[in-house]
Amino acid sequence: MQKLSKVLVAIGILAAIVGAGLLVGWWGSRSQTAGPPLPGIQTLDGSPANGQPQTATASNPPADTASNATAALLASNAPPAVGATNLLADWEDKLDEILGSEQDDTNKVTQLFGMFARLPEDGQSEVAQHLSNLVPDDNYAPLGQLLQNAKLPESVLDVLMSDVLNRPDSVKLPQLLQVAQTADHPKADEAKDFISLYLDEDDPAKWPQKLQVWLKEHPSD
């Protein structure tokens, strides 16, 4: 009987060893056939678990998206709309609030462009003056689009023309050429006189080509 017990114990131990081996083999094969981790799951160090760059989504935007939002507005080619009917009654208070805040100039410019369409003529003239002071040369595009808008009141265009004439030639001359080529622009004749004098050329058909040559010869202006 004692020998029989020892035999049964030995058989049990052998069965346990075989079973453990089968379990290990099954787990290894499962690990090899399992699909890659779901995208977006990160490891403890913050990197994606599947080793691939994490794709930005609407709920997971790049870190610099917010900081680029204002720059995108300044670099856009679409000018603020004009002629809005829902004018701001308290625009002077709103303007003082924006200009007196501690936010940076970029945010101030964004808000000034945002309110421009809802201002009366005197308000647009005043805001145009502040934009002229706040918008840097390398982000002039939105302000230049206002200058190209022939439907703006002439008092507002006066402010914008005065501003562009004080900009570097690389900003000023292309803007003036566009104004000169817009037949119904209130400042077209003024721009034509300036371009003609600056390029020493009276033929408007030759201005675009001569301007390109001039800018290549004066890259730092």
Residue 33 lies in a domain: no
Crossing angle (nearest 10°) for helices 154-164 and 169-180: 140
pTM, full prediction: 0.64
Question: In the structure encoding, which two tokens stand for residue 167, read together?
Answer: 């900009």
Question: Which has the minimum average pLDDT: 87-91, 140-144, 159-163, 201-205?
Answer: 87-91
Q: CA-CA distance, 112 to 118, in Å (whole number)?
A: 10
17: in domain: no
pLDDT at 16: 45
Identify whether 110 is part of a domain: yes
Tell me the per-residue pLDDT of 159-169, one tens digit each, with 9 for 90 and over. Answer: 999 999 999 99
Q: Is the residue at 121 inside a domain?
A: yes
> Do 43 and 55 form a contact (C-beta atoms < 8 A)?
no
The answer as to whether 112 is a domain residue is yes
Domain that holds residue 82: 73-139
Q: How many domains does the chain have?
A: 1
pLDDT beyond 50 at 75: no
pLDDT band at 176 (very low <50, low <70, confident <90, very high): very high
Q: Specify if 213 maps to a domain.
A: no
Quote the Cα angle for 43-45-51, to 5°: 50
214 within some domain: no
Please indicate, yes or no, if residue 91 is contained in any of the structural domains.
yes
